[in-house]
Structure 1
Amino acid sequence: MTIQTPTAAPSRATAPGAAALTGTGLCTVLLGAALPLIDFFIVNVALPTIDRDLNASEPVLELVVAGYGIAYAVLLVLGGRLGDLLGRRRLFVGGMAAFGLTSLACGLAPTAWTLVAARVAQGAASAVMLPQVLATIQATTAGPRRARAMSLYGATAGLSMVAGQVLGGVLVSADVLGTGWRSVFLVNVPVVVLALVLAVRAVPETRSAHPEPVDGPGTVLLALSLGALLAPLTEGRSAGWPLWTWLSLAAFPFLAYAFYAVERRADRAGRTPLVPPSLFRLPSLRRGLVMVVPFSIGFSGFMFVIAVALQQGEGLGATAAGLALAPMAAVFFGTSLAGPRLVARWGTRIVTAGGLLQGTGVALIALAAWRDWPHLGVLGMLPGAALAGAGQALQLPILFRIILSEVPAERAGVGGGVMTTTQQAALALGVATLGSLFLSLAPGLGMRDALVVTLLVQLVAVALTVTLSLRLPRTIA
């Protein structure tokens, strides 16, 4: 089976007179894709200094990470719908401006709770901006250009998640102008100003030719469903699992079913719901999403746990903890550049090969931690981090291409929103589950053994991804 990239007629995919996406425009929207993911991970190495400066409790520190992630995940699909309705460049520019303002608010936050509120707003701004990236690519490219753009999007997403943590460590240690941890947010402001100038000049305006109104009931039920799952998993351990966490988890399946029922009814009535169930009839989207979930859970959990283990367990500074992952970022970048050529020759078999490489890398990191602790650093992690980075680069960009390959251009915003919501919810789940596992085990087992056990659990997620990859069609158009 060959996965064909759809080439919808311009009249259905773009606004009248919309231009094709130029190289500058593509770089601009990819920058918009990088910023939200960088900011999800950049705070991991900054949490100890935020704690000291703002005297934040552990539950509040977790909200600094989770508040952003939950708001981001809950509103992504709505952001895609609004772009289809109001214009994708307009929403991209508006979301980018809001992201810059909320980043400034994070950087100037006087208290921990003010920082939490600013991070929630920053996540909401990201949810407005990011879906427009994929929708714009889908609506303004076709054929080989779309395949290349999607590969670059996947490479940007993966590199951003690793580079964010490295950049965070460098900025915190550099203490630019005495700003300390605040620089991890303030650095966004000049980048946003540049991106806004480029977006106005180089990103074409597109929108759906037949936009649907906002699905109010679906939006509310999706928000309630994701919140009921992610909030207790994130805050439960540090809060001592109070009654509200169990009630919230118990409500999740009922809310999720109510969301599905409302969306199915709207779909059957000929309306376009927030998440059309008919979209999941596309085999490529279904298979790709199922693989993105374990991949993202393992990835984000690993990044969070490594940051905590190296700083709190080994006493490394923010720079050393961040740079320990530099080999992973460098190899990811180099491998992702070769990705399109490898796909053209080997098809989706490289996804399976990537999973095997990633699994080997995680196992080597676990072995190094068991052998070298408490002296695990850049050199100890180098072989495992390099292999893991190469493996991730052979999976994530290809999965993104597979997921969106059969989505019609007129549903580009909805399809992109579904994909990014799934990925973001899984990233938040990874921090909540693997992070909570590690922090729960550390007091009894010690940091070394807790880290090793958590990495072995991550290997289960990698093994699941490899198994699922065997069911993928062999070729990608």
Structure 2
Amino acid sequence: MAVTLPARRAGAMSPRAVARSGGLHPVGVFFLLAGAFLPIMDFFITNVALPSIDTSLHASASELELVIAGYGVAYAALLVLGGRLGDRLGRRHVFLAALVGFVVASGLCGFAPTVGVLIAARIVQGATAALLIPQVLATFHHTLEHDRKARALALYGATSGIAAVVGQLVGGLLVSADIAGASWRPIFLVNVPIGLIVLVVAARIVPHTRSDHPVGIDLPGTVLFAATLTALLVPLTEGHSLGWPWWTWTMIAVAVVLGAITFVIERRAERRGEIPLLPPSLLRLPSMSRGLVMVLAFSIGFGAFMFVFALTIQDGLHADALHGGLAILPMAALFFLGSVFAPRFISRFGRGALSAGAIIQLAGLAALVVVVVRGWPHVSLWDMAPPLALAGGGQSMLFAGLFRSVLADVPTHLGGIGSGVLITLQQSGLALGVAVLGTVYLAQAQHNTAHAFATVEVAQMAIIALLAIGVAALPRFTTPSANTPTADA
């Protein structure tokens, strides 16, 4: 049973006292979000550092792709398992243990002597991130209710987007600063002191929670699901740089077969009265079935944008890593400001706020394409700043609303599983966006970078337009219940 405290009472007590009573203080919310920020940022922070890693470690194109893909595949494949382990072993324990692993892996990345060691350390980073992230959402789901839960879920969605944008900004700043001649290494080493601070504080102020009805690990489902994602994401990520050899197509075909087998086995397990890794009944909840499709679509477009924008700035306009990171600053600033007000607007206007955010983002992306195509190759960062800011403000509203809606119908005791499924779809969408739309960009950029960028952005705009219409299919943000955040319809 969830232990919750009224907002006024929680605010009047010390964070540690609130944790001892089983509640979560607002300061605890902040540190859980800080713990989630680092792994999400690390998926994107390497985008602007790849040229420096190449120069330092003499990596091949496929090895550079694996620096990103190794992290992404491990992250996506183990997220649902991470949620289930938290439900069973205790979310606080799993969060702290995973954070220790993430800090150690970050240190290994920063001191990696070869690209092989870097790839291995990145896989460990992704695996520990997958165990860490679901505990954040599940703890919110278990300890908060009504408006406090709604705000925390919206802030998590905002944190995800901000971390992605800030990742490229911080990566550019650290690589260009070349601290002590370390080149790209500080982009990983910066996680160590921040992670240790979060670890020490979270150990004192995050409550111990677990599911009242913990379930087994579902080893067959875990192995099959991880194999399916690996068989799909590895060839999609590596295919272009390797010229699409036969094994990439074979792995994609295998992924389809494994996906079908996974579905059949999970459905049979649930019919036997078990709770499989991906419960079909959970996926049939209105908030999950509709919201997850939208999160996946949004993430495909967002992941593709972050990838192709970085390449357009650095390879197309020949900007250095510092300017490549600074170019995204207007989007980051408005995303942050929009995220501050998003929970209030969503609570007041419900699904209409999400549609408005999608329309604003669509206008910003359209203006950005016009600026790039008309001004190419003499496009200044100042020219792109206004449309980037507009897009950032709009997508903050859509991002926060989608995360809030997906978990609305999920029972509290399945919070870890639901959180894991949600973030898995988000992470898979980011990877698919880079793999599919990124491949389209790389193929066209050889002839015309501006048109390649425009092609990808038209695809993203089509996704956003569909989302602007599709939010009407989401469940209404209605009256409060034990498992549903409060908001006006």
TM over 0.5: yes
Determine helix, strand or coil for the equivalent of 1:19.
coil
Per-residue deviation, residues 340-383 of structure 1 (Å, max 9, x unmatched): 22112211111111111111111111111112222333212112
Partners of 2:144 and 2:472 in 1: CA distance:
29
Equivalent in the alignment of 1:284: 287
Residue of 257, 263, 266 corresponding to 1:263: 266
Equivalent in the alignment of 1:368: 371
Map 1:42-191 onto structure 2 (within 5 A): 42-191=45-194
Equivalent in the alignment of 1:308: 311
Contact 2:267 2:279 in 1 (8 A): yes
Equivalent in the alignment of 1:352: 355
The structural deviation recorded for 1:290 is: 0.9
Gaps of 5+ in 1: 1-7
Per-residue deviation, residues 150-195 of structure 1 (Å, max 9, x unmatched): 1211111111111111111111111122211111000000001101
Name the % identity.
50
Per-residue deviation, residues 416-462 of structure 1 (Å, max 9, x unmatched): 0000000000011011111111111111x222221122222222222
Partners of 1:9 and 1:459 in 2: CA distance:
40
The structural deviation recorded for 1:17 is: 7.0
The structural deviation recorded for 1:281 is: 2.1
Residue of 360, 363, 383 corresponding to 1:380: 383
Equivalent in the alignment of 1:396: 399
Contact 2:405 2:475 in 1 (8 A): no
Partners of 2:25 and 2:476 in 1: CA distance:
31
Partners of 1:376 and 1:18 in 2: CA distance:
56
Q: Which amino acid aligns with 1:458?
A: Q
Q: Which amino acid aligns with 1:294?
A: A
Partners of 2:35 and 2:60 in 1: CA distance:
32
Contact 1:75 1:124 in 2 (8 A): yes
Determine helix, strand or coil for the equivalent of 2:212.
coil
Partners of 1:61 and 1:365 in 2: CA distance:
29
Contact 2:331 2:391 in 1 (8 A): yes
Report whether the alignment pairs 1:435 with 2:438.
yes
Equivalent in the alignment of 1:459: 461
Contact 2:78 2:130 in 1 (8 A): yes
Per-residue deviation, residues 363-407 of structure 1 (Å, max 9, x unmatched): 111111112222333212112101110111111111111000111
Q: TM-score of the superposition, structure 1-length normalised? A: 0.95
Q: TM-score of the superposition, structure 2-length normalised? A: 0.93
Partners of 1:90 and 1:290 in 2: CA distance:
31
Q: Which moved more, 1:301-310 or 1:368-377?
A: 368-377
Contact 1:30 1:156 in 2 (8 A): yes
Q: Evaluate the alpha carbon distance shift between residue 90 and residue 473 of structure 1 in structure 2; reply closer, same or farther with a 3 A threshold.
A: closer
Determine helix, strand or coil for the equivalent of 1:38.
helix
Equivalent in the alignment of 1:5: none
Determine helix, strand or coil for the equivalent of 2:281.
helix
Equivalent in the alignment of 1:3: none
Partners of 2:307 and 2:29 in 1: CA distance:
30
Contact 1:18 1:205 in 2 (8 A): no
Contact 1:95 1:125 in 2 (8 A): yes
The structural deviation recorded for 1:113 is: 1.7
The structural deviation recorded for 1:236 is: 0.7
Partners of 2:215 and 2:347 in 1: CA distance:
37
Contact 2:3 2:22 in 1 (8 A): no
Report whether the alignment pairs 1:198 with 2:190.
no
Determine helix, strand or coil for the equivalent of 2:275.
coil
Q: How many residues align?
A: 465
The structural deviation recorded for 1:287 is: 1.2
Contact 2:2 2:142 in 1 (8 A): no
Gaps of 5+ in 2: 5-18, 479-485
Partners of 1:421 and 1:335 in 2: CA distance:
25
Q: Which amino acid aligns with 1:376?
A: V
Partners of 2:91 and 2:291 in 1: CA distance:
25
Contact 2:2 2:143 in 1 (8 A): no
Contact 1:41 1:164 in 2 (8 A): yes
Partners of 1:356 and 1:128 in 2: CA distance:
35
Q: Indicate the RMSD between aligned Cα atoms, in angstroms.
A: 1.4
| Larger relative contact order, structure 1 or 2 (CA cutoff 8 Å, min sep 6) | 1
Contact 1:324 1:377 in 2 (8 A): no
Per-residue deviation, residues 284-309 of structure 1 (Å, max 9, x unmatched): 11111111111101101110111111
Report whether the alignment pairs 1:35 with 2:16.
no
Report whether the alignment pairs 1:469 with 2:471.
yes
Q: Which amino acid aligns with 2:464?
A: V
Q: Which amino acid aligns with 1:471?
A: A
Q: Which runs of 4+ in 1 moved over 4 A?
A: none
Equivalent in the alignment of 2:10: none
Contact 2:94 2:132 in 1 (8 A): yes
